[in-house]
């Protein structure tokens, strides 16, 4: 499947003739075995000769259109792509197979084997989690290593990892969904319905994670420190309602806003995504920015802001402005998984220049001299 994704992504699918193999029959013929002695698929015939082993085929396909850099541009980058391909093939795939085979009745379920396989998956996921905390993809931009990972991990996310386990590796999950939702990936692999509970293999009794029930004492709800600040004279909800009272926004919003806003009760900030060079397409940027905004759910009561993605393919930038209740970056924002990927700086809106920056981020088609591709609101 990763080879099909790579062929589609590199735009070379038309150069390849795809042949359906009747397993157990076509792959057992002397002609097939002469070219592909393992009798396994995928198998590729090229004008220069046959190739077996999926990662070698993957490499050949990326060579048909090097402009996409799907294997990496330099010798070093190519080695790093190979490193992650080997990691997926050796440190993850064998364990996934051990988990997958009983589901398809190819082997019988064995508790000890299953436990060992899960331990292997968790070990690989822990390494990936550390790497993906600060990296969007495995090797800089999208490479075939990412295709190898999603095709192997799909079964884990749809059958094995319950939502509690998924949440233990938030960066891996974010990464998996980002790659899996790339149009060319989804087209080949199909939509991924991430499972909530572990699905049982035939013969397996799934033990649901224990939910620890809190003792039944009526606890006083802990007050958010932001709710203990001196009351604000303006409510963010009203500001949001007024700004969006017309579509796409109220053109007469700002004069009144600057006159009446509660500058003591709130603070203004700029924020900038620090790794826009990883965005090789605008939909990659959209995925990341929209994902960030949805992860900001807990901040909504105390914030109002916007992020825009601007510029052209190859040199995107992503930044915006935001208002927080109080004088600091609120804790709810600092708790967002990818908070560290954004640089926040105070914005002084007591000056005309500061006000202009804020207004421009909210309303203009060109911000900082770059055309706005799209905006995502934190409202």
With binding defined as CB under 6 A, does residue 40 bind ligand GSH?
A: yes
CB closer to ligand GSH out of 88 and 336: 88
- DSSP per residue over 246-295, as a string? SSS--TTHHHHHHHH--TTTEEEEEEEES-GGG-SSHHHHHHHHHHHHHH
- Stretch of 33-41, 115-123, 185-193, 201-209 contacting ligand GSH, by CB under 6 A: 33-41
The nearer residue to ligand GSH, 101 or 186, going by C-beta atoms, is: 101
Tokens for 143, please give them.
């490479």
Nearer to ligand GSH, 54 or 267 (CB): 54
Closest to ligand GSH by CB, 42 or 265: 42
Restricting to residues 169-198, name those near ligand GSH by CB under 6 A.
none
**Residue listed under structure tokens 């790497």:** 131
Copy the structure tokens of residue 112.
């000890």
Q: What angle do CA 37, 43, 47 make, to 5 degrees?
A: 100
Of the pair 27, 135, the CB lying nearest ligand GSH is at 27
Tell me the closest approach of the beta carbon of residue 178 to ligand GSH, in angstroms.
24
Pick one of 8, 12, 26, 39: the residue that binds ligand GSH (CB under 6 A): 39
Q: Give CA separation, 329 vs 139, 238, 263, in Å.
A: 31, 21, 15
Half-sphere exposure at residue 362, Cβ-oriented, CA atoms within 13 angstroms = 24
Yes or no: say if 142 and 182 are a contact pair by the CB < 8 Å rule: yes
Residues 5-24 that bind ligand GSH (CB under 6 A): 23
How does DSSP assign 166-221, residue by residue? HHHSHHHHHHHHHHHTSHHHHHHH------SSPPPPTT--PPPPPPPPPPS--PPP
Q: Least separation, in Å, of the C-beta of 175 and ligand GSH? A: 22
CA–CA dist 343, 355 (Å, integer): 20
Which span sits near ligand GSH by CB under 6 A: 37-45, 136-144, 319-327, 361-369? 37-45
The minimum distance between CB 266 and ligand GSH, in angstroms, equals: 56
> How many angstroms separate the CA atoms of 24 and 249, rounded?
62
State yes or no: residue 41 binds ligand GSH (CB under 6 A): yes
- Cα 105–chain centre separation: 32
Q: Which is nearer to ligand GSH, 40 or 281 (CB)?
A: 40
Does position 103 interact with ligand GSH (CB under 6 A)? The reply is no
Give Cα separations from 228 to 182, 265, 302, 304, 325 (angstroms): 44, 11, 13, 19, 11
- How many residues touch ligand GSH under the rule CB under 6 A: the total is 8
Based on the shown chain and the rule CB under 6 A, indicate whether residue 26 belongs to the binding site for ligand GSH: no
Residue 125 CB, nearest distance to ligand GSH (Å)? 21
Q: How far is the CB of 374 from ligand GSH (least distance, A)?
A: 39
Query: Of the ranges 7-15, 39-47, 113-121, 314-322, which one interacts with ligand GSH (CB under 6 A)?
Result: 39-47
* DSSP per position, 73-123: SSHHHHHHHHHHHHHIIIIIHHHHHHHHHHHTTSS---HHHHHHHHHHHHH
Minimum CB separation of residue 79 from ligand GSH in Å reads 19
Q: Are 249 and 243 in contact (CB under 8 A)?
A: yes
Q: Looking at beta carbons only, is 76 or 104 nearer to ligand GSH?
A: 104
Nearest to ligand GSH of 63, 248 (CB atom):
63
Instruction: Give, as ranges, the residues between 42 and 61 that touch ligand GSH (CB under 6 A).
Output: 42, 53-54
| Residue 54 vs 319, nearer CB to ligand GSH | 54
Binding region for ligand GSH (CB under 6 A): 23, 27, 39-42, 53-54
């Amino acid at each position: 499947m990763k080879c099909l994704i790579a062929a589609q992504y590199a735009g070379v699918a038309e150069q390849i003739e795809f042949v359906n193999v009747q397993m157990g029959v076509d792959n057992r013929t002397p002609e097939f075995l002469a070219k592909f002695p393992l009798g396994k698929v995928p198998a590729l015939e090229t004008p220069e000769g046959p190739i077996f082993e999926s990662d070698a085929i993957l490499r050949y396909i990326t060579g048909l259109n090097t402009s996409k850099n799907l294997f990496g541009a330099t010798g070093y980058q190519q080695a790093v792509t190979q490193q992650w391909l080997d990691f997926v093939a050796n440190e993850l795939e064998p364990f996934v197979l051990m988990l997958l085979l009983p589901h398809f009745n190819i082997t019988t379920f064995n508790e000890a084997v299953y436990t060992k396989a899960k331990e292997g998956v968790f070990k690989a996921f822990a390494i990936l989690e550390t790497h993906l905390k600060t990296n969007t993809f495995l090797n800089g931009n999208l490479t075939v290593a990412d295709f190898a990972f999603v095709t192997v991990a799909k079964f884990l996310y749809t059958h094995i990892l319950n939502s509690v386990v998924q949440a233990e590796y938030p960066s891996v999950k974010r990464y998996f969904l980002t790659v899996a939702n790339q149009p060319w990936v989804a087209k080949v692999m199909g939509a991924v319905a991430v499972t909530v509970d572990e699905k049982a293999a035939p013969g397996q009794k799934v033990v649901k994670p224990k939910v620890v029930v809190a003792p039944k004492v009526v606890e006083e709800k802990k007050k958010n420190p932001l709710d203990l600040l001196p009351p604000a004279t303006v409510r963010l909800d009203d500001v949001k309602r007024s700004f969006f009272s017309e579509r796409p926004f109220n053109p007469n919003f700002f004069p009144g806003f600057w006159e009446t806003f509660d500058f003591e009760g709130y603070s203004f900030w700029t924020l900038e995504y620090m790794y826009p060079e990883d965005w090789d397409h605008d939909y990659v940027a959209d995925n990341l920015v929209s994902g960030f905004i949805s992860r900001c759910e807990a901040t909504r009561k105390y914030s109002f802001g916007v992020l825009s993605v601007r510029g052209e393919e190859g040199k995107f930038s992503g930044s915006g402005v935001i208002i927080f209740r109080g004088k600091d970056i609120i804790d709810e924002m600092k708790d967002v998984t990818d908070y560290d990927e954004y640089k926040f700086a105070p914005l002084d809106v007591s000056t005309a220049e500061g006000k202009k920056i804020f207004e421009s981020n909210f309303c203009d088609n060109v911000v900082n001299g770059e055309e706005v591709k799209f905006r995502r609101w934190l409202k």
